Amino acid sequence: MQSLAHSLPASGTGFPEAANQADVTWLVAEETPVAFEYNGRSHAVMMATPADLEDFALGFSLCEEIVGSAADIDRIDVRPVEDGIVLSIEADPLRLLRGSLRRRSMEGRSGCGLCGIDSLANAVREPPRVMAGFTPSVAAVAAAFAALPDHQPMNRANKSLHAAAWAGPDGRIVTAREDVGRHNALDKLAGALARVGIDPSGGFAVMSSRCSFELVQKAATIGIPMLATISAPTALALKLARAAGMTLAARARGNGVMLFR
């Protein structure tokens, strides 16, 4: 993170309102081009927060169905270059999933899960069926929502990053990742779970963002049975979640929680 060159007034308006008003210093988040290469072949460039990049490489590969498991990847190299960062991923070509390296242009924005997809046929993937290893509960989701801010250290500093966390059936958060893009945050979480061998079906994901269909696709692909987000799901997200057998959750008024099945 970089410190902003000047201080802003406490009101956040950008203009001093009183001579005795206390100044505050804001930090701004890094947003860096991150290129994915598979066996030396360029695949996509995503704008991302340059943290937990090995988790990002592994999680993106799993969520995008490029590989079927962490064991399918032989090596991940994080290589800084002049204009950004290259994630060089080596895997046996025979272990790459058929059709997984869907053609993309070499551009991806931090806020979009579809950037670079070159046809409508590749836009919405049919999610796999997911089996839950627990019974979803409103109390557990509420507990995870309440705990999520404690797992967002970078966001506390800059107020601009999304978080994706994984919680056990009781709502206790086990691990979390942050990124300027919500899809990137979920990819990083997926990679973190895979690296330590946590079974995603034994808990649920809780996120600081809205629930889009791309997040449902990613969660279902790695076997997460419930996705809890701050705002309600879109119609397409709910349709895909029902097809996958997933439960979606969102905050209601006050501290309430709504479950969508």
Q: How many residues does the chain have?
A: 261
* DSSP-assigned letters across all residues of 191-255: HHHHHHT--GGGSEEEESS-B-HHHHHHHHHTT--EEEESSPBPHHHHHHHHHHT-EEEEE-STT
Closest CA to 176 of 184, 166, 168: 166
> What SS3 string covers 135-182?
CCCHHHHHHHHHHHHHHCHHHHHHCCCEEEEEECCCCCEEEEEEECCH
Say if CB 143 and CB 170 are below 8 A apart: yes
Residues in contact with 35: Cβ distance below 8 Å, sequence separation at least 6, in sequence order: 42, 44, 45, 84, 85, 86, 87, 106
Indicate which residue of 63, 112, 115, 211 is catalytic: 112
What are the φ/ψ torsions at residue 144 (nearest 5 degrees)? -70, -40
Catalytic residue status for 115 = no
| Cα–Cα dist 205/169, whole Å | 10
By annotation, the residues acting in catalysis are 112
